[in-house]
Amino acid sequence: MSKIPSYIVTYIIEYIGGDDYLNSRKKLTYLSQAMDLIYSDYNSNSFWLWNEWRKKNGFSNLSKPIIPERLQNIKNNPYVISIDPPLISIDKEILLDLHKKTRDYIYNKC
């Protein structure tokens, strides 16, 4: 398979909205991953809520919930601090607002 010439790639990128569009798509991916993490069953598992209490009261032999495959590949996401335990870097409301604004920007541009 032959490589696509760079001028064609540049033309396609400019046609769909330029670098700003591509950066917004990447940002939307990161925001979506963070939302998926924070609203997932993995995050809502009682292990995270009651783990400290269990440790203090001698129930420390409980196993952690299994990280879903879709969450295992979250890397270098500026909105995700940690997957184990699940933590995001901004408030949920701000995350939802950013996601909505970015989504509207991308899909209104096309």
Q: What pLDDT sits at residue 37?
A: 92
Residue 35's identity, in one-letter code, is M
Q: Tell me what pLDDT residue 36 has.
A: 93
Please list the residues that pair with 98 across neighbouring strands: none
- The pLDDT, as a whole number, for residue 109 is 66
Phi/psi at 86 (nearest 5 deg)? -70, 115
Low-confidence ranges of the chain (pLDDT < 50): none
Alpha carbon distance 27, 49 (integer Å): 29
pLDDT of residue 68: 87
Global pTM value: 0.77
